[in-house]
Structure 1
Amino acid sequence: MTFLLLVLWFQAPLALSAEDGGPESYLPIVPSLDKFAGNLFAQVAAEDPNKNVFLSSINIASALVLLALGAKGPTHREIFEGLSLDSSASPDAIYKGFQRLQQVMDQDRPSVALSTTNACFVDKTLNLLQEYQEKLKLFRSEAIAVDFTKPEEAKDQINCYVEEKTRGMIKDFVDSVDPDTVLTIISIIHFKGTWVDVFDKKQTRFQDFYVDESTAVKVPMMSRTGSYPVAFLNNEGCKVVEVPYKGNFSAVFIIPDKGKMQDVEEAIGQGSLTTWMKKLRPMRIKLEIPKFSVSTLIDLKEVLEKLGIKTAFTNSADLSGIAESGELKVSKVVHKAEITVDEEGTEAAAVTGIQIMPTILPPVVRVDAPFLIFIIDTNTNVQLFTGRIRNPLE
């Protein structure tokens, strides 16, 4: 068996083709993506309850769809079932749905930087099937020749590509390359948003963030008083606040009550986020959230196996739709994601606002203990990123 290395790095949905399946063809796959996001996050979060988690489920789903393009039989079926995709729907309809979703998400939006890239690094010994190459073109995935028998050169080539496409944000992404690798699929997403209402840096103060009952760390806490969609979900044991970006994106913060993190995570895994979002109502509050930067690197092989994607990792894998040799299997699935939350926005400096303050002080929503964060494209209701921040300083 020859090894197929699938490297997943943040990525948005798949790219546009000339035949995108109609303006609303992506809608049937959105509930599936939402379910997959919940299942994936629940599995990753349960691996180590005391660590930060940050990932892009749409990135992982999209890269797996690239893999599914060349999969057949049980291997293909497991990928689709693991992604919670409708087994009764035709693969072509699903692929067109991903393509159309990419088109909608890739529309130019003011004050938002959203870039996506797909690439296949192909060993010189591997002859990709023409049909698979044509499918990759539909998803704007470029094929790049590489010699994996020279692992250091291959590693440098991949790392230089990732560094360039992420504008220098990610360096030395791949630390080693197995010389038996014949194909590496790289998927990238980079997002930078501008708050609709920016935070005044002068209001940022160092405050305690309670990592657990016995540990507190000092973090720069941003503060702003204004109107935000909020839900106080007493029965569910959490508060939810939506902080909008310009360009139809939002960061959704979920603040579990003391001792309720696991319950809230399990509810998220069962799809409660959509229900909770419907309960949001505009309210004037004093919002305090930490300024932080978090990076996580996740080996997803065991997680995906728990979601039912198993055969692709075995000698029984059928990836015969990729190359003439046909004897391929997935050896590794790695996902890296980073997030930075701060006061700034690209258009913030020129904005002046005058607000009339009520005489009654607004309620305070303070994020000073472990919390969940979701970045959502409100045009499509698709989750771009999902995270659990246990310690903003790690």
Structure 2
Amino acid sequence: MHKINIFLPFLFFLMLFGCMANDDQGDEQKNIKLDNKSAQLIEADNAFGLDLFQRIRATSNEENLMISPLSVSLALAMAYNGADNTTKTEMETAMKLNGLTVDQINNSYEMLVDALQSLDEEVVFEIANAIYYQEGFPIHQSFLDINQSVYKAEVESLQFGPAAVDIINAWVADKTHDKIKTIIQDLSPQARMVLLNAIYFYGTWTKEFDEDGTKMNRFTKNDGTITEIPMMSKTDELEYTANELFSAVKLPYGNGQYQMVVMRPEDGYTSTDLVKELSMEKWTEWSSQFSEPQKVQVTMPRFKFGFKSQLNNILEQMGMEQAFTSNADFSKISDEKLYISEVIHKTYIDVNETGTEAAAVTAIVFEVTSAGPGPEKIYFTVDKPFVFAITEEDTGAILFIGEVQNPEYEE
């Protein structure tokens, strides 16, 4: 059995930064170098994302799901700048940011976002943030300033009501290229602020799948049901790993800085078993074990789906409790008593022969209180539910992570 090497840090979802280092030649690919604090933040974000993904999987009945750890982390980081006392401490615990100062967190995210968006000219990676608040509601200018300067947030006051809902959803649709068209349905009379993060990713495979090679193939679900679905296929030089739990390949996009890690459970195991084993320790160990590129024939499904989750209860379980109560302390946002009424997360992904298009939106609604060499060719056939992640090579940041139990693809 091959001694495996793993899938990358998901996600997703964290990343980072330090500074971008360009090779001397203008056409050479760019790389991201991390300073110690940036590396610490990425590790915290990845740990947060893996924990969040496991908890959502454990509570969701959806066959297919995906989250963007980076989107959730960025939205919470913006809100974190307005928290104080116990609320602030609990957010640090939930986000696994203990040991980092507010300035270190903000500086690292600023570098990260700038670096990720300019890393690969062949990959579209866009990050946008916004703050919409009730017209006339007193928000501290210092809170708006830090989010505008560090997180490049668009800030606008609105008369909250149906028209404001339309404006907010239009922003979401625009920033996700219409892949996610709505994030909120209405605003309660107590709503005073909506904080938003949107991420959009479009990457073509470094070597595309041959559309003529897509054929019907058997796919066995976790319950043993067998279906016939279209499977893409290609042979390429790819990093590969295998162990007793799963085998995995890295499928690169563009110049190779971004990649999708596809993890197929070994016989006797399911994708659910794989998700349960995820931890930062194992993720790091597995990531270090990928082989040098070798010839691999990849056969896998196309898939396309959307997913939505309300994160209030899960974030509370992770230690962020006070923020959702009338005792919340967001005094660095406003002198008025604010608490978080909703954290909503929506994602979309389309994986086909050409590449991958993915998007994520996180909305935080604030309300006022009432008061070694392998064989010559390796066959990697994803014929059962699997886990995937889109990551960045230099930082190990997890941009997106998901599980596919029922690959569907509607044209």
TM bracket (short chain): 0.7 to 0.9
Secondary structure of the structure 1 residue equivalent to 2:144: helix
The one of 254, 258, 269 equivalent to 1:246 is 254
Q: Output one character per residue of 1:134-175: Cα deviation in whole Å (capped at 9) or x when no partner.
A: 111122111112222x2x212111111111222222223322
User: For residues 37-48 of structure 1, what are the structure 2 equivalents within 5 Å?
Assistant: 37-48=49-60
Quick check: 1:71–1:322 contact (8 Å CA) kept in 2? Answer: yes
1:368 aligns with 2:376: no
Indicate conservation of the 8 Å contact 1:11/1:187, yes or no. Answer: no
Report the equivalent of 1:232.
Answer: 242
Q: Which residue of 2 aligns with 1:216?
A: 226
Offset, 1:262:
3.5
Q: What does 1:317-356 correspond to in 2, within 5 Å?
A: 317-325=328-336, 327-345=337-355
Mapped to 2, the partners of 1:90 and 1:321 lie a distance apart of 16
SS of residue paired to 1:26: helix
**TM-score with structure 2 setting the length:** 0.83
Distance (whole Å) between structure 1 residues aligned to residue 324 and residue 274 of structure 2: 32
Q: Contact 1:14–1:99 (CA<8 Å) still a contact in 2?
A: no
How much does 1:15 deviate?
Answer: 11
Letter in 1 for 2:104: A
> 1:39 aligns to what SS in structure 2?
helix
Deviations 1:316-335, CA, capped at 9 Å, x for gaps = 1000100232x000001110
**Distance across 2 between alignment mates of 1:273 and 1:157:** 40
Distance across 2 between alignment mates of 1:173 and 1:186: 9
Q: Residues 11 and 338 of structure 1: is their aligned pair in 2 closer, same or farther, counting only changes over 3 Å?
A: farther
**Is the counterpart of residue 76 in structure 1 residue 56 in structure 2?**
no
Cα deviation 1:275-305 (Å, max 9, x = unaligned): 1121111221211111110210011111111
Contact 1:11 1:189 in 2 (8 A): no
- Is 2:131 the partner of 1:123? no
The answer for unaligned runs of 5 or more in structure 1 is 1-9, 347-359
| Whole-angstrom CA distance in 2 between matches of 1:12 and 1:32 | 8
1:102 is aligned to 113
Query: 1:377 — aligned with what?
Result: 392
Give the CA deviation at 1:42. Answer: 1.1
Could you say which residue in structure 2 is the equivalent of 1:142?
Answer: 154
Structure 2 distance, partners of 1:240, 1:49, is: 25
Pairs within 5 Å for 1:21-100: 24=35, 25-48=37-60, 51-85=63-97, 87-100=98-111
Give the whole-Å Cα distance in 2 for the aligned partners of 1:381 and 1:133: 30
Distance of aligned partners of 1:226 and 1:88 in 2 relative to their CA distance in 1, 3 Å threshold: closer
Instruction: Give the match's secondary structure for 2:341.
Output: strand
Amino acid paired to 2:120: R
Q: CA-to-partner distance for each residue in 1:177-199, whole Å, 9 max, x for gaps?
A: 22321100111000011111111
CA separation of 1:240/1:49 partners in 2, compared to 1, >3 Å: closer, same or farther? Answer: farther
Q: Which residue of 2 aligns with 1:350?
A: none
Partner of 1:185: 195
| Correspondent of 2:210 among 200, 219, 228 | 200
Tell me the distance in 2 between the aligned counterparts of 1:14 and 1:159: 29
Q: Which runs of 5+ in 2 are unaligned?
A: 1-11, 20-32, 357-374
Deviates more, 1:162-171 or 1:313-322: 162-171
Q: Give the 3-state SS of the residue equivalent to 1:212 in structure 2.
A: coil
Distance 1:333 1:33 in 2: 17
The one of 135, 144, 163 aligned to 1:153: 163
The aligned residue for residue 326 of structure 2 is 315
CA drift at 1:361? 6.9
